[in-house]
Chains A and B, each alone.
Chain A
Amino acid sequence: MSRQDQMARAGRYVLGQMEGRERDDFEVAMQADAELASRVDRLAQSMQALDDTVTPGAIPPGMWKAIEARTAGMAQLGPVRAGTVVSLEAARARRRWLPAALAASLVLALGVGYLAGTRLGAPREPVAVAVLLNETDSMPGAIVQAYADDSVTLRPLRAFAVPEGKILQVWTLPDRETGPVSLGTLPRQATTRLQGPDLPLPHEGQLYEITLEPSPGSPTGKPTGPILVKGYARFSPS
Chain B
Amino acid sequence: MCMKGMTAHAMPQEPMLDQTPDGWMLAMARGDRAAFAALFEAEAGRLIAIARRIVRRQDLAEEAVQEGFVSAWQSAARFDPQRGSARAWLTTIVRNRALNLIRNDARLEFHDAEDVAAIGDRAADAMAALNQLSDRDALKSCLGALDEPKRQAILLCYVTGLDHGEVAATMKAPLGTVKSWIRRGVVALQECLS
A binds B: yes
Interface residues of A (CB under 8 A from B): 4, 7-8, 10-12, 14-17, 19, 37-39, 41-60, 63-64, 66-68, 70-71, 74-80, 175-179, 200
Q: Find A49's partner among B37, B78, B85, B139 (CB 8 Å cutoff).
A: B139
**CB contact under 8 A between A54 and B73, given known A7-B186, A17-B182, A49-B133:** no
Q: Is B66 a contact of A67 with CB atoms below 8 Å? A: yes
**CB contact under 8 A between A79 and B78, given known A8-B186, A175-B71:** yes
**CB contact under 8 A between A53 and B74, given known A11-B182, A12-B182:** no
Residues of B within 8 A of A14 (CB): 158, 186
Q: Find B75's partner among A8, A12, A63, A77 (CB 8 Å cutoff).
A: A77
Q: Which of A52, A55, A75, A177 has the most CB of B within 10 A?
A: A177
Residues of B within 8 A of A17 (CB): 157, 163-164, 182
Q: Is B158 a contact of A60 with CB atoms below 8 Å? A: no
Q: Is B187 a contact of A4 with CB atoms below 8 Å? A: yes
Q: Does B161 contact A (CB under 8 A)?
A: yes
Q: Find A8's partner among B62, B71, B132, B183 (CB 8 Å cutoff).
A: B183
Q: Does B116 contact A (CB under 8 A)?
A: no
Q: Is A45 a contact of B85 with CB atoms below 8 Å? A: yes
Q: Does B171 contact A (CB under 8 A)?
A: no
Q: How far is the CB of A235 from chain B (nearest CB, A)?
A: 14
22 A-B interface contacts by CB (under 8 A): A8-B186, A11-B185, A15-B157, A15-B182, A17-B182, A42-B190, A42-B193, A44-B92, A45-B84, A50-B155, A51-B50, A54-B46, A56-B45, A56-B48, A56-B49, A59-B41, A59-B44, A59-B45, A63-B62, A67-B40, A71-B74, A76-B73
Q: Find B187's partner among A11, A58, A64, A66 (CB 8 Å cutoff).
A: A11
* Minimum CB distance partner of B163 in chain A: A17
Residues of B within 8 A of A47 (CB): 139, 158
Q: How far is the CA of A50 from the CA of B76 in the complex (A)?
A: 25
Residues of A within 8 A of B91 (CB): 48, 51
8 Å CB contacts to A: which residues of B34-72?
36-37, 40-41, 44-46, 48-50, 52-53, 61-62, 65-66, 69-72
Q: How far is the CA of A67 from the CA of B64 in the complex (A)?
A: 12
Size of B's binding interface in residues, CB under 8 A: 70
**CB contact under 8 A between A177 and B71, given known A15-B154, A51-B95:** yes
Q: Is B53 a contact of A54 with CB atoms below 8 Å? A: yes
**CB contact under 8 A between A7 and B187, given known A48-B88, A59-B45:** yes
* Minimum CB distance partner of B190 in chain A: A7
8 Å CB contacts to A: which residues of B155-194?
155, 157-159, 161, 163-164, 182-183, 185-187, 189-191, 193-194
Residues of B within 8 A of A19 (CB): 103, 163
Q: Which of A8, A10, A11, A43 has the most CB of B within 10 A?
A: A11
Q: How far is the CB of A204 from chain B (nearest CB, A)?
A: 10
Q: Is B139 a contact of A50 with CB atoms below 8 Å? A: yes
Q: Does B129 contact A (CB under 8 A)?
A: yes
* Minimum CB distance partner of B99 in chain A: A16
Q: How far is the CB of A72 from chain B (nearest CB, A)?
A: 9
Q: Is A54 a contact of B50 with CB atoms below 8 Å? A: yes
Q: How far is the CA of A71 from the CA of B66 in the complex (A)?
A: 11
Q: Find A16's partner among B50, B78, B95 (CB 8 Å cutoff).
A: B95
8 Å CB contacts to A: which residues of B125-157?
128-130, 132-134, 137-140, 154-155, 157
* Minimum CB distance partner of B167 in chain A: A17
Q: Is A11 a contact of B75 with CB atoms below 8 Å? A: no
Q: Does B119 contact A (CB under 8 A)?
A: no
Q: How far is the CA of A66 from the CA of B40 in the complex (A)?
A: 12
